Chains A and B, each alone.
Chain A
């Protein structure tokens, strides 16, 4: 069990460019989450997958954002036409089973800087 891994750890991009982040959850975890964390704030929920199905999307997830989990394993988060306001840490988490009382395991995050 190597934990949740995210790639890349850091990304600097120019405004208007597209970026894609990858998350590999713990292998037996069926649930996968994306969160965004800005400086001085707690993580904010973006979206949630159960296996390959995207079951929830926050209103924070504008139409420039898209997430996939095609085979119910790894997930990608793409941001199109990046804006400076997209600069943040993007965290991925995974959970096993169905209960809301189970621990979410977090990756180390991808820090995005839009210049």
Chain B
């Protein structure tokens, strides 16, 4: 079964500091990987996705993620945190092969920005 592990349920960084949110996936076939952001009492918004075209993926709001097959990772980064980045972040996976069509999500990482 496909799965995603997000290391760290809470991450706290200072405003202006580097943001690093970790995501590892399990896979026996090529994955498609997604990062979503969720603000309180809202739905999820796509930040970026990896679909095998390029290993370094740039998304909205200055976020980017790098797909590393050898490490089965897809960590999310942003060079300089802004107060508006405070939210819940979810990594999700789907697979190119047959089988389930829905996304499998990690448990999420709550990003806290310290002023």
Where the two chains meet, the residues of A that have a C-beta atom closer than 8 Å to any C-beta of B are 4, 31, 33, 35, 40-45, 48, 50, 55-56, 91, 93, 100-101, 103-109, 111
* Cα of A50 to Cα of B103 in the assembled complex, Å: 15
B32 touches A100 (CB 8 A): yes
Which residues 82-108 in B have Cβ within 8 Å of A in the complex? 90, 92, 94-96, 100-108
A103 to B44, CA, bound (A): 11
Contact across chains for A106 and B105 when beta carbons are under 8 A apart: no
Min CB gap B8→A, angstroms: 13
What chain A residues lie within 8 Å of B43 (beta carbons)? Answer: 4, 91, 106-109
Please give, as numbers and ranges, the residues of chain A lying within 8 Å of B44 by CB-CB distance. 43, 91, 93, 106
Contact A40 B42 (CB under 8 A): no
Q: Count of B residues near A, CB < 8 Å?
A: 27
Question: Which residues of B does A touch, CB under 8 Å?
Answer: 9, 32, 34, 36, 41-46, 49, 51-52, 90, 92, 94-96, 100-108
B38 to chain A, nearest CB (A): 8
Using A100-B101, A105-B46 as known contacts, list a sample of 19 further A-B pairs with CB atoms less than 8 Å apart, ordered by residue number in A: A4-B43, A31-B101, A33-B102, A42-B90, A45-B100, A45-B103, A45-B104, A48-B102, A50-B101, A55-B101, A100-B32, A100-B96, A101-B49, A101-B94, A104-B46, A106-B44, A108-B41, A109-B41, A111-B41
Q: How far is the CA of A105 from the CA of B49 in the complex (A)?
A: 13
User: Given the complex of chains A and B, what is the CA–CA distance between A48 and B94 in angstroms?
Assistant: 14
Instruction: Considering the complex, give the chain B residue whose CB is closest to the CB of A89.
Output: B41
* A108 surroundings in chain B (CB, below 8 A): 41-43
